[in-house]
Homo-oligomer: A and B are copies of this chain.
Amino acid sequence: MTGPDSRKVIDIALVKQVCSNCNLHQLCLPMGIDMEDVERLDTIVKRRRPLPRGGYVFHLGDEFIALYAIRSGSVKTYTITEDGSEQITGFHLPGEIIGLDAINTGRHPCGARALETTSICEMPFIRLEELATTVPGVGRQLLRVMSREINAENELLTLLGKKSAEERLAALLLSLSMRYKARGFSSREYHLSMSRHDIGNYLGLAVETVSRLFTRFQQQGLIHVRNKYIQLIEIEQLQQLAGMKNCTASS
């Protein structure tokens, strides 16, 4: 740590530590904002030390101070029902912003925990609002991100309201696949950072059902799973499965 090139190492680390150099530019808050303004955004973003698996980004009921962007790793957000059981409301990948649901009440109505070692960018909301008044693009983008969030939840609603267990799992696997792809990772294989339990919770299914579906999909040659590592073999068939169920012989 004190060798001749330690300064250089630190420099590289620092360079990576700003929005303008972040490869998630196109997904995160800076999207559609020009360079000059991104630099102003940079001044208010704080980086926190990496969170271990299971660490809290924020707790349920915490006072709302900041929005959080995921830099690397993954996070689950969840609420707790009156009877004490947890409902996971989302799995979040790098470039996504969490905490938006706290703006309304000033307290976090959900909690957020890291599913693996995770780096977070903290954006104090007051500073962000200030910035929004001087930089119109920031306000606009903030609205867009929130709108996107509403869209995502609408999709999940449809999933939980109308779809079978099969369709739900296929949809989740494909959703993760597409989102990893958008982030420059493989869309054919990835690491499931969440437990089977979490998947079941999120999809409104029992753990056992999820487990059975994994084995069945594998037997059908659609996927290949080995613990947390998954390969999607027949993506098209999965899409069929996720989308339309009553299409065995018809249409």
Contact = CB atoms under 8 A, between A and B. Distances in A.
Given A140-B129, A143-B143, A144-B103, A150 B151 contact: no
This chain: how many copies in the complex? 2
Nearest to A77: B154
A133 B130 CA distance: 11
A79 B150 CA distance: 13
Contacts of A100: 146-147, 150
Q: Is the interface of A mostly helix, strand, loop or mixed?
A: helix
A143 B144 contact: no
A248 interface: no
Interface stretch (A21-29, A34-42, A80-88, A180-188): A80-88
Interface in A114-167: 129, 132-133, 136, 139-140, 142-151, 153-158, 160-162
B104 A147 contact: yes
Nearest first, the 7 A-B pairs at minimum CB distance are A103-B147, A104-B147, A161-B204, A160-B160, A83-B244, A153-B153, A87-B158
